[in-house]
Amino acid sequence: MPTTSRLSRALRHSGLTLRTRAGLLRLEVARRVMPREAYALPLGSVTAYLSHDDYEIDWASWTFVAIDEAYAGNYSGAVVVDIGAHKGYYGAYALAHGARAVISYEPESANSALLERAAALRDRPGDWHTRRCAVGPAAGEADLHVMGASWGHALSPPEKFARHEVGLERVRVEALADVLAEATGLASGARVIVKVNIEGEECPTVLGTPPSAWDGIDELYVETHPWATCDADDLTRYLGAAGLVRRESAHPAVLRMARGANAPA
């Protein structure tokens, strides 16, 4: 559960609406008085879910997006690609901040179920698309290593993760180049923003995708992981060939890049 100071910080956050702050308080009461499988939490006009069994992890994931604002930027009118969507907290954030549409990719079944549930609540049909699959350098199928907590699931986790592993799920994998092409086709001239958080798989996935595949992408956020086979500098150099320039990020673990000289600082 969140500490009192962490909850207090969330309740004081100027970027949260009164509806979201009231939702946080209702959620804390509900968990103690009437526990259930999952709890709805509004973020602006969008709703996402935190699970009871993984509440601590889900709370940390939600606050990373909504309170720490690790992916802060201008989403107004943009088409957003959310790769490694977890339960949809980033997708909810993007929509609440003006995104025209979000396409969320999440392979793990429990996370996907609550992601799809959140998307189904939208009163604007078609603005939140969900894909129950992983994203990699090439299309196909793969074994997803499922961890005991709701994050850390990965196609190729480090050996030290083995003690946390609870099973395998056979999942579909979409090629990143195809994912980017779908988004640019849907955008019809709108800005396209991509977020990647795939538990260390960012290196083979991004570096294994031709730079030309990024031609229609205006902004990119990549959460980097210490066990990955490359670092933010490696990704920056590679994506520079696609015309993307590194920009100041709101969080040290998130690489932020944008297109060209007119990219946001």
Task: Tell me the DSSP string of 204-234.
Answer: HHHHTS-GGGGTT--EEEEE--TTSSS-HHH
The CATH number assigned to the domain holding 234 equals 3.40.50.150
194's tokens: 């991509």
* Among 98, 55, 69, CA closest to 10: 69
Q: For the chain, how many structural domains are there in total? A: 1
Residue numbers in the chain where pLDDT is lower than 70: 1-5, 125, 261-265
Contact status, residue 87 vs residue 118, Cβ threshold 8 Å = yes
CA–CA separation, 61 vs 71, rounded Å?
Answer: 12
Whether residue 128 lies inside any domain: the answer is yes
Distance, C-alpha 199 to centroid of its chain: 11
> What was the pLDDT predicted at 134?
98
Judge contact between 253 and 226, C-beta under 8 A.
no
Assess if residue 57 is contained within a domain: no
pLDDT at residue 28 in the model = 87
In terms of DSSP bridges, do strands 219-223 and 192-196 run parallel, antiparallel, or are they unpaired?
parallel
Tokens of 198: 């795939």
Residue 6 belongs to a domain: no
pLDDT for 3 equals 57
| Range of the structural domain that residue 234 is part of | 70-259
Tokens of 50: 């935190």
What pLDDT was estimated at residue 2?
A: 57
Residue 86: inside a domain, yes or no?
A: yes
